[in-house]
Each structure stands twice: as C-alpha cells, then as structure tokens.
Amino acid sequence: MKHGLPLNRKECYNPPMIRKATTKDIQSIHKILNEYGNKGELLPRPLSQLYDHVRDFFVFEDTDTKAIVGCGALQFCWEDLAEIRSLAVSAEYERQKIGTRLVEAILSEARTFQIKNVFTLTYKPDFFKKFDFQTIDKANLPHKIWADCLLCVKFPDCDETAMMKKLQP
C-alpha cells in the first residue's frame, strides 16, 4: 500500500473466515437458525441454549461486512462420539460452499479430539453424503442423545434422517 491507497485489487479484499464463536455471535447465530426453524427445515434452538453451547460453535464471518453468515456446532456425546448440529447458512449466502467449509472445520475439530464417529440428524441427507456420511437407523444412536429429543416439538415423530461418519485417525 502506498499513500494509503491499495496497490492492487487483492489488497482491497478481506477473505471470509471460519472461526470459533464468541458470546457476541450468539444473536447472529440465533437469527440464522430461526430463519430455517421458521420454515421447518431446522429445529429451532432457544437463545439460552445457544449461550450454554457457545464453545461448540463455529461461525463463518464475512470479514468485509463483519456479518456472521453461517454457523455449525460440534457437540460431544461420548469419548468417541460427537454430533454436528445447527448447521445453517443465511439464505442470501447459499450455494457458496460456506456449509461445506463449516463441515470441514467441524470434522477437523472432531479429529483433533480423536473422535471416531460423528453423527447428524438432518433434513438434508444429500448434503452430508458428500462427506461420506451414511444413513443409519435412529435406534442405533445412544440413548444419551435422546435427552434433547424429548424437548423437541416433533418428538416422538422425528422426521430427520440420522447419518453417521466414521473418522479416520
């Protein structure tokens, strides 16, 4: 940069980034999740629960606008099992590989913690198939995860697809 002016176009562009969420991101996460919750495409989560689980979340931030445009969480269930949950991208940012990048970050974190199996309950099984998730019977999931299900408005008639991925070390 010379005299405060960018030398080339690249210097003007701040690429978007994936990072761990902070408490300041919770309102944005809640808004994105409600976007899909209102359409019945994602199970809504109460604001208080998002604050309780802020450490589980990754966010996708547009560094130019500072807007949070995507989110996803990795919730640990057992020493070798975790769940991807609350994966969502603002509608105006869809089809830009943001969801893909979030899943890659989440799976990388799971590997860091030596998680062997990652599951998800989803309305978008084709998306997760791209990451080698396989459809499984919900009955194969541990009883521990059903605690959250008991609070769901759709319980016991869950219409999400259960999927599992075995991680390589």
Whole-angstrom CA distances from 19 to 6, 56, 127 are 26, 11, 22
> In the predicted model, what is the mean pLDDT of residues 122-132?
94
pLDDT at 5: 41
- Name the residue ranges covered by the structural domains of the chain: 9-166
Query: Global pTM?
Result: 0.83
Q: What is the pLDDT of residues 64-104, one digit of tens each?
A: 888 999 999 999 988 899 999 999 999 988 888 999 999 99
Residue whose C-alpha is closest to residue 72's, from 21, 115, 145: 21
Share above pLDDT 70 across residues of the chain, in percent, rounded to a whole number: 79
Give the per-residue pLDDT at 1.
39
Give the homologous superfamily in CATH for domain 9-166.
Answer: Gcn5-related N-acetyltransferase (GNAT) (3.40.630.30)
Say which residue, 134 or 37, is predicted with more confidence: 134
Please give the pLDDT value at position 135. 94
CB 19 within 8 A of CB 61: yes
| Mean pLDDT across 117-128 | 93
Report which residue type is found at 78: W
Q: With bands split at pLDDT 50, 70 and 90, how would you rate the model's confidence at 123?
A: confident
Report the alpha-carbon distance of residue 76 to residue 73 in Å, rounded: 10
